[in-house]
Amino acid sequence: MSGNDIDNKVTPLRPKRACPECGKPSTRETYPFCSVRCKQIDLNRWLSGTYVIPGRPGEEEDSDEKPE
């Protein structure tokens, strides 16, 4: 068996996906992103509040009332 035959039989641990930022193929080192740059862009969006996970309807964040 040659090295190429072995590579064709190996099943990757993660499916190949496109980078969520730019659409290029992702790399193993920065999965699911294609580069460190795209990874940092995504992190900045989370930290700056661009991405938000909504809470339950009627839930208030800054409530001074204490539950009894």
Residue 37 has a pLDDT of 97
Q: Does residue 55 have a known ligand-binding role?
A: no
Residue 1 has a pLDDT of 52
pTM beyond cutoff 0.75: no
**By three-state DSSP, how is residue 66 classified?**
coil
Q: Does residue 5 have a known ligand-binding role?
A: no
Q: With 60 as the cut, is the pLDDT of residue 2 above it?
A: no
The residues spanned by each domain of the chain are 18-48
Q: Residues 6 or more apart from 30 whose CB is under 8 A from it? A: 36, 38, 39
Tens-digit pLDDT profile for residues 20-67: 999 999 998 999 999 999 999 999 999 999 988 888 887 666 555 566
Q: Does residue 38 have a known ligand-binding role?
A: yes
Residue 45 has a pLDDT of 95
Q: Does residue 22 have a known ligand-binding role?
A: yes
Burial of 16 per CB tally in 10 Å (0-12, 13-18, 19+): exposed
